[in-house]
Chains A and B, each alone.
Chain A
Amino acid sequence: DAGVIQSPRHEVTEMGQEVTLRCKPISGHNSLFWYRQTMMRGLELLIYFNNNVPIDDSGMPEDRFSAKMPNASFSTLKIQPSEPRDSAVYFCATLADSIEAFFGQGTRLTVV
């Protein structure tokens, strides 16, 4: 398995633009997490899906952020409109009932 795949790896966008981050989980992993990492706030859990259903989205900062998991092999995190304070590294992680949890390589987002 290629592991958790995130795209794009880097994204630079202008304030106000829509940004979509993508994650392909490891096959068979039924839980998926989106995290944001910054120097100031560390690793923040944004949203958690189990079997494609959002379980906890209390970490989503505001209505500008939305996440979907239309099927077991794909998830998106969308920011619309983007702001400079959204600049961070966004990680997707997936976990199976068999316990192991793995992270993708992350998307480094810069909003200018």
Chain B
Amino acid sequence: ELKVEQNPLFLSMQEGKNYTIYCNYSTTSDRLYWYRQDPGKSLESLFVLLSNGAVKQEGRLMASLDTKARLSTLHITAAVHDLSATYFCAVYGQNFVFGPGTRLSVLP
């Protein structure tokens, strides 16, 4: 059974700081997704990572994938308040399983 873990589950950080969210998964997969969810809203697609060593960047967010370690990271650079949200990773294998989410609060 595919299991997806994230850490930390809660993250409070100051504006301007850097931090990394980690996503571990239990079985082999070639697709790893990152989503953002604002309170009361749906999930918005951020990144799709399709191969070992894949790296994608959009603004202050950068995602990477290590399929051998079954690990993906979401790195936040110079955080701003607008990045406050819950971030989910998801793994597509035999189905599409989500991690528990990381609730990020960026404080002024």
Binding site for B on A (CB under 8 A): 31, 33, 35, 42-43, 45, 48, 55-56, 91, 93, 95, 99-106
CB pair B92 A95 closer than 8 Å = yes
| Tally of contacts, chain A with chain B, CB under 8 A | 45
B88 at the interface (CB under 8 A from A): yes
Interface SS of chain A: helix, strand, loop or mixed?
strand
Question: What number of B residues sit within 8 Å (CB to CB) of A?
Answer: 19
Residues of chain B touching chain A, judged by Cβ–Cβ distance below 8 Å, are: 31, 33, 35, 42-45, 48, 50, 88, 90, 92, 94-98, 100-101
Chain B residues with Cβ below 8 Å from A56 are 94-95
Minimum CB–CB distance for B88 against chain A, Å: 7
A101-B95 contact, Cβ under 8 Å, with A42-B100, A42-B101, A91-B42: no
CB of B94 to closest CB in A, whole Å: 7
From A33, A99, A105, B31 is in contact (CB under 8 Å) with: A99
